[in-house]
Amino acid sequence: MDETLPDPPSNARRRFLIGTGALTTSLATVSHAEYFTHQPSAAQPYNMRVRFTLNGEPHELELDSRATLLDTLREKLGLMGTKKGCDRGQCGACTVLVNGRRVNSCLTLAATLEGEEVRTIEGLGRPGALHPAQAAFAERDALQCGYCTPGQVMSCVALVEEARAGMPSAVTTDLRSPVRLSDEEIRERMSGNICRCGAYVNIVAAVRDVAGRKA
């Protein structure tokens, strides 16, 4: 009689989980810094050349095709204004503009930016010559720790342009008239930017100021 019995389902499941855990651990040992240091080879043909405009300046970079725009800005180009919060598209701290449209740079591969125009918080204004959105956030005291603020400001800049272009949001009720940025509209359009300090009241006031000035 054959004594070999199939694994009970619970054992098979345990072996699968152990294998998955080992794979996850080995993937996690690939650091972000490695993206920018290794050279292309037959075994690792990931490096590529990308040209794009960053804050008005042309850039040509050799980078790993798996590198995000966020890591490229911070680790390769030294632009620390764009913040890493969740690194998975949930908090908005990494918001930048690509061709005027806001994107989560943690979800954007730098390799996709060939010929595109990228704008970060460093490209808006500078001390003594703030962009109106930066000035409004300062005047309204629309921050506490400030970690989310670059992303909030970049979203504010894009939001005002989106409304001017007539782009509706989930709370827009009248699709035939120009978009009016009510507080409800502002809250909806800024809902991708989370503030753990809860400075929302003043953030909405700052965006309202910018929208009013633009109008």
Task: Please give the DSSP secondary-structure letter assigned to residue 87.
Answer: S
Q: Which of 18, 33, 86, 138 binds ligand FES (CB under 6 A)?
A: 86
106 binds ligand FES (CB under 6 A): yes
Please state the closest distance from residue 111 (CB atom) to ligand FES, in A.
17
Task: Please give the DSSP secondary-structure letter assigned to residue 30.
Answer: S
147 binds ligand FES (CB under 6 A): yes
Q: Which of 92, 123, 136, 162 binds ligand FES (CB under 6 A)?
A: 92
Tell which residue, 182, 41, 203, 45, has the closest CA to residue 138: 203
The span from the CA of 47 to the CA of 33, in Å, is: 13
143 binds ligand FES (CB under 6 A): yes
Subset of 162-181 contacting ligand FES (CB under 6 A)? none
Nearer to ligand FES, 63 or 93 (CB): 93
Q: Which segment (71-79, 108-116, 125-133, 145-153) binds ligand FES by CB under 6 A?
A: 145-153
Q: How far are the Cα atoms of 103, 116, 195 from residue 56, in angstroms, in the given order?
A: 18, 11, 29
The span from the CA of 106 to the CA of 111, in Å, is: 13
